[in-house]
């Protein structure tokens, strides 16, 4: 069987790419109120993060990708935290005080969120 045709190579590449998409993986539970999130080309790690309820949470975002990203956290009705543009290799730390609940972490640039740069933050 010959696998070197452009169609076969494209199917193999598509299969490999789709295997990396989809499931967000097991939730990561942080015991403390300080945590780190890493962004890359169209992926946020961890994608599911649970942190304890606290008066103040401290979040660090590190951009390990080759493109810039701007990360926000949104609740049901509004954004609660905004990390302005992070250049490749840059990290930033912010404190915030969310109430208990579920929040979406996402990149606001172009279609980065639709390409997979989003995740879930659960407080409480």
pLDDT in tens, 88-99: 999 999 999 999
Whether residue 29 has pLDDT greater than 50: yes
63 versus 20: which is more confidently predicted? 63
Whether residue 15 has pLDDT greater than 50: no
CB 78 within 8 A of CB 37: no
Structure tokens that stand for 99 in this block: 């109430």
CB 42 within 8 A of CB 116: yes
Q: Among residues 41, 36, 29, which one has the least CA distance to residue 107?
A: 41
- Residue 80 main-chain phi, psi, to 5 deg: -115, -15
Would you list the domain boundaries of the chain? 26-123
Across the chain, mean pLDDT equals 85
- For domain 26-123, the CATH class is mainly beta
Q: Among residues 118, 7, 21, 9, which one has the least CA distance to residue 72?
A: 118
Determine the length of the chain.
124
The β-bridge relationship of strands 43-45 and 69-74 is unpaired
Q: Percent of the chain, pLDDT > 70?
A: 80
């Amino acid at each position: 069987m010959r696998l070197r045709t452009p169609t076969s190579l494209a199917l193999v590449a598509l299969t490999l790419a789709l295997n990396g998409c989809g499931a967000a993986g097991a939730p990561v539970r942080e015991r403390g109120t300080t945590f780190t999130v890493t962004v890359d080309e169209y992926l946020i790690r961890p994608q599911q993060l649970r942190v304890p309820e606290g008066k103040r949470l401290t979040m660090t975002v590190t951009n390990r990708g080759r493109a810039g990203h701007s990360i926000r956290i949104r609740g049901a009705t509004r954004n609660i935290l905004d990390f302005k543009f992070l250049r490749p290799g840059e990290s930033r730390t912010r404190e915030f005080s969310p109430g208990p609940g579920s929040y979406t972490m996402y990149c606001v640039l172009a279609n980065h969120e639709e390409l997979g740069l989003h995740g879930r933050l659960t407080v409480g």
